[in-house]
Structures are given as structure tokens and as C-alpha cells.
Amino acid sequence: AWSLSTDNMYTVVAPFTCIFRELTSVICKEYCRQASKTSFSTLRCLSHLKYKFKTSPRRRDPEATNSCHKNLQRIKMPEEKQQLIGVIDQGTSSSRFIVFSAKTGEIIARHQIEIDREHPHSGWVQQSAKDIYNSTLRCINAVARDLRSLKLSPKDVAAIGITNQRETSIAWDSKTGEPLCPAIVWSDSRTSELVQTFISNTPTKDKNAFQKQTGLALHSYFSAMKIRWMIDNVPAVREALEDKRLSVGTVDSWVAYKLTGGASGGQHLTDVTNASRTLLFNINTLEWDRDICKLVFGITFPQFIPLKLIASYYLYLQ
């Protein structure tokens, strides 16, 4: 926008800047040929186009005024950068990555890849931890290509959230960043007998013995029993525990760890929504429960801190 004042002074006001009286002549001299003349030193006019006035603007000639106005109309204001929000949706049957407009909620780009489930024995449901991560990464890369084709930059994604199949549990080697066995899926029931053993070892011999602390009953559905089963039945997991290189977590932890570097400094963490489905998290203190960890794993609390609990976290993606 521009306006003509009553005192031999032209002023152009742009939404993206505030032009003070002391700065205008300097700005004009830099961007306007006419302003480079000495006689133009007191003119207040801003234009990023190098145009020539038909006559001296100081005379307030109508043609000069029109020339200035026409040139200013040609200036395109820089478009507001569109902020985007990304969401990783890692489910039992597929992985997805979706990017939304932060302003309107409109879906800008999306990609989905199906993943397989294995049933090697009755009641067993497992998946390849590598497939879980690789399918997620492929979705992210596909969406990044789509954004570029839309003249948008992946760098405009301001935040990324993760939603996932929560109780599914994964064990990996912290030295190599590789999974030690297939992921045990939430619906797997191979730990049913193990659950009954733990119920009989509780003070009340009741499946709800830890409900006040965790909000959950002792059940094969939750992560604690799956992790215990891995330690007891998978030699590679047991050896990693003894060598202090065992990492365990739910799917969000695994995906975040791999996306942030894996064995080369990847972040090992989760949030309370996933931790609360492990049967190891005290929903009253919002911390790992010492007594339950000792019962399930037979170790004292300081030795069992597999995840860094925080309310939210950043993923710095390559």
C-alpha cells in the first residue's frame, strides 16, 4: 500500500516492515535510481524495483506519482510459508505417513505400506521389527518426494507425531541397533502360562494385584510379559541382557530410535501413553514402578531404566 502526504513526502507502507523517517532515504537510495540523485535525499519512497520517474517526484507531478504507483503494484509480496504437521501411524497391518496443513488441517500428502504378520504357532502373532521400521521410512521418503513435487519443502514440516500399535514389544541390541528377535504383537497370547505364574506370585494371588498402580490387570496383552518371555526363551535376548546391551521398547520407541540415528546416537525414549500399556508404569507417580519391575524381571530398579520418559520429544530426521 502507498499514500501521498501533504508535505512534499511520499511514504510507502509495507505490511512486513515499519519504515522510520531516519531510514527511508537510505532505503530509497539503495533500491531506486531516481533516489540516487542528491536532490532526492529527502524523499520517502520505498520500492524494490529500479524504476525512473518521468519527472522529479519532489514537484508532486501527477505522472511521477502514477509511475511510482504502477511500479509498486508490480511488487509481489512474499507468500506466507505454509507450516506442515507430519504424523507417523504405525499400525498392525500397515505403516503410514501423513502430512497436514497446520492451518487448515487439510491432508497435503500421504503414503501407506502394508506389512505382514506371522503365526508360527497357535496363539502367536509376530512381525519383523525391520519391516516395521523400513516401511515407516519408505512412507516418509515417499511423502517427501510428493511435497517437493508440490513445490513444498520437507523442511516446512514443523512437528512429527507418532501413533502406533502400543503393546507390541521389540528387543534390540544397543551396540548394533539391530533387532534380536521378531516383535511380539499386542494380540499374541504365548505368555498366557507365564501370566498365571506371576499371578500366583503376587501378594494377593490376584490378576488385579497391581491395578491401583498401573490401571491394568496381569495379562498377556501387555508388554511386560512379552519382554519377560523374550528374556526366558530367546538366547540372543538373554545374552544381550547379561552383556548390558539389551534395549527394549514399544513400537514408538523402536521407530524413534532408528529415525534419530539407531546405533549411532539414536534416542531411546517413549511417552506416558505408551509406557502406561507396559504394565510397568505407575500411573499415579508417572514413573516406572520399582516393585513391579523387580517382580517381573528379578532386578532392582536402578538396573532397569530401558526408556527415557518425557512428555514429548523431537525427531531430527535426515
What CATH number does the domain containing 121 carry? 3.30.420.40
Assigned domain for 174 exists = yes
Q: Which domain holds residue 168?
A: 84-316
DSSP class of residue 109 equals E
Instruction: List the Cα angle 245/291/219 in 5-degree steps.
Output: 85
Nine-digit cell at 182? 521378531
The neighbouring-strand residues paired with 283 are none
Predicted local confidence at residue 291, as pLDDT: 86
Q: Residue 247 and residue 236: Cα distance in Å, rounded? A: 12
CA distance 280 to 212: 12
d(CA 20, CA 17): 10
Chain segment 47-99, per-residue pLDDT in tens: 333 433 334 444 444 444 444 444 434 444 445 678 999 999 999 999 999 99
Q: Is the four-CA dihedral 299, 302, 303, 309 of positive or negative sign?
A: positive
Q: Which pLDDT score, from 0 to 100, does residue 300 have? A: 55
In single-letter form, the type of residue at position 291 comes to: D
Q: Per the structure block, which three cell numbers stand in for 18?
A: 515499519
154 DSSP assignment? G
Number of domains composing the chain: 1
Angle between helices 290-297 and 192-201 (to 10 degrees): 120
Determine the Cα angle at 230 with ends 225 and 233, to 5°.
115
67 found inside a domain = no
Phi, psi of 287 (to 5 degrees): -140, 165
Q: Which pLDDT score is estimated for 114?
A: 98
**Residue 126: what pLDDT?**
98
Looking at residue 164, its pLDDT comes to 96
List of the chain residues with pLDDT < 70: 1-80, 299-318
Q: Which of 295, 289, 265 is nearest to 275 (CA)?
A: 289
% of the chain exceeding 90 in pLDDT:
57
170: nearest Cα among 89, 251, 234: 251
Examine residue 262 and state whether it is found in any structural domain, yes or no.
yes
The set of cell numbers assigned to 232 is 526366558
What pLDDT, on the 0 to 100 scale, is given for residue 286?
86
Using only C-alpha atoms, what is the Rg of the chain?
Answer: 31
pLDDT for res 304: 47
Q: Is position 132 within any domain?
A: yes
